[in-house]
Structure 1
Amino acid sequence: MSDDVQDGFVRVRLDLSYEGRDFSGWAKQPQGRRTVQGEIEAALRTVTRSTETYELTVAGRTDSGVHARGQVAHVDLPVELWAEHRDKLLRRLAGRLSHDVRVWKVEEAPSGFNARFSAIWRRYAYRVTDNPGGVDPLLRGHVLWHDWALDMDAMNEAATALIGEHDFAAYCKKREGATTIRTLQVLRWERRDDGILEATVKADAFCHNMVRSLVGAMLFVGDGHRPVDWPGKVLAAGVRDSAVHVVRPHGLTLEEVGYPEDALLAARSKEARNKRSLPGSVGCC
């Protein structure tokens, strides 16, 4: 599959953020369900006075209730339309979009850029408080309350067994034809000055529910319900464990998406489309 842009079109990169509470995720859904993709595509159609909807491709599809601070998408627009609207597009989108979604940058993408396949990593944060009094009301839409004291050192020790390239089938919701092999680059907990525990989770890509499942396993270790080696054993077993809970979405935020230098964008996009297998395994996925 090529990332060459169709003749007469220009690929445009959008950097954006959204508060996920009132969205049914990123991807367009049946009529009547509000999504980030649907909202932005409708706004683009309106402000450019287009009769056609130009479809967005996103770096990472977020689930219902998940937030994004550093999301990236692209859209292919006719050259004439882009030339006419490029200088005023950002301000017009700001006037049209709801207050819980913002586009911060709109620019012509470099050759070979694909918001999804050119990305080399995605970084999420998950925020939890174990304060016995609960969550600060001003943060309630972005922080999970865990009603047990959490041992951050135990969670970080447990995380070491999960770092690297593995088949994360035990932590993913399986999708037909999709591989669950991922390279987890960072899984680290820090306690902020305000007492909130913040997990940084970074990987080349994530499968469905992976971050929230990993966090759920870590919390069970942190509150003493499971030993430190349990998350690693679950990973090695390769099957879902009923004790691995998918934590609620509101504590999760997509913070940043990373891309290689421009000269490597096309090669990365091609590489990312290849089906993956672990060394020594039989078959591709």
Structure 2
Amino acid sequence: MRIVLGIEYDGSAFFGWQWQEGGLRTVQDAVQKAASNVANHSVTVICTGRTDTGVHALEQVVHFDTQAERSHHSWLLGINANLPDDVRVIWVQEAVGDFHARYSAIARFYRYIILNRPTRSALQRDRVTWCHQHLDAVRMHQAAQNLVGSHDFTSYRALKCQSVSPMRKMYFVEVYRQNEQVIMDISANAFLHHMVRNIAGVLMSIGTGDKPVRWAEELLASKNRQIGGVTASPHGLYLGGVFYPEKYGLAKHEIFNKLPANAQRFQHET
């Protein structure tokens, strides 16, 4: 039996998602131990996409295979009872057909939150990126539209990125202001290492007026990461959710109902 979980976590105190040698605290290790306790045997948890140190998740989707028979309610309560306070399973269901948390996904959605005010926040310090210079969200949004579509994103991936191909299809990038926050909502078929944070860094330079609007497009065309912008902090980055074909019967996170109109239209296309 294959069990599918929707998980949220605060990544502030984790060394990313993926299990690592040396006893480092990771989300995968915490979830695997909790699920194994409930299943009464060792399980391996597969995620949609690995998140880096300090990155959060509103809804990470994972699966594991088990011989144990438990009700959805028992899996939910049992796993959560064995998890630390900064990780929670928010839903459970059995996999349909050939479902695979990573390979069945057709798009990933991330949200990047920037606190844009003169002073840092005591309460949000690990959950937002801080920028004291005023950001022009309209300029940032305009620049970001040049990244939509299928492109070679070499200029926006980490130099040590191990992906075989830099080609990705960007479905939408929405940048908008909500009071003191500037928010970037972004979705693609998949993302390269540090891709979202590198895009955020470039757009922030454009938003402050340090760089022109055309800079985002010029970097894309250059296919050269070494002339790209600063990689933005991980603290403002959230894996917001995952799009799967409807045949798998996975409901989209409620956050999708709150996306700007242009982004909402994408839901119908998938």
CA offsets, 1:100-140, max 9 Å, x none?
000112211100211111111111111112211333x2222
Aligned to 1:13: 4
Identical pairs, percent:
36
TM-score, L = length of structure 1 = 0.83
Q: Equivalent of 1:127, from 113, 121, 128? A: 113
Matched residues, number: 249
Bigger radius of gyration: 1
Deviation at 1:176, TM superposition (A): 3.8
Displacement after TM superposition at 1:85 (Å): 6.0
1:14-163 equivalences in 2 (<5 Å): 14-50=5-41, 53-78=42-67, 81=68, 83-84=69-70, 86-135=72-121, 137-163=122-148
Structure 2 SS opposite 1:38: helix
The one of 221, 244, 251 equivalent to 1:236 is 221
Question: For 2:149, which of 149, 158, 164 is the aligned residue?
Answer: 164
Whole-angstrom distance in 2 between the partners of 1:115 and 1:61: 11
CA–CA separation in structure 2 for the residues paired with 1:105 and 1:59: 15
The two structures, once aligned, show a CA RMSD in angstroms of 1.7
Q: Do the aligned partners of 1:17 and 1:101 also contact (CA within 8 Å) in 2?
A: yes
Structure 1 alignment gaps of length 5 or more: 1-9, 266-285
Q: Identify which of 152, 160, 174 aligns with 1:188.
A: 174
Decide which moves more: 211-220 or 144-153. Answer: 144-153
2-structure distance, mates of 1:230, 1:241 = 14
**Gaps spanning 5+ residues in structure 2: where?**
251-270
1:14-52 Cα shifts (integer Å, max 9, x gaps): 1110000011101111121011111110111222222xx
Partners of 1:41 and 1:55 within 8 A in 2? yes
**Aligned counterpart in structure 1 of residue 192 of structure 2, from 175, 189, 207:** 207
Conservation of the 8 A alpha-carbon contact between 1:71 and 1:255: yes
Report deviation, 1:195. 1.9
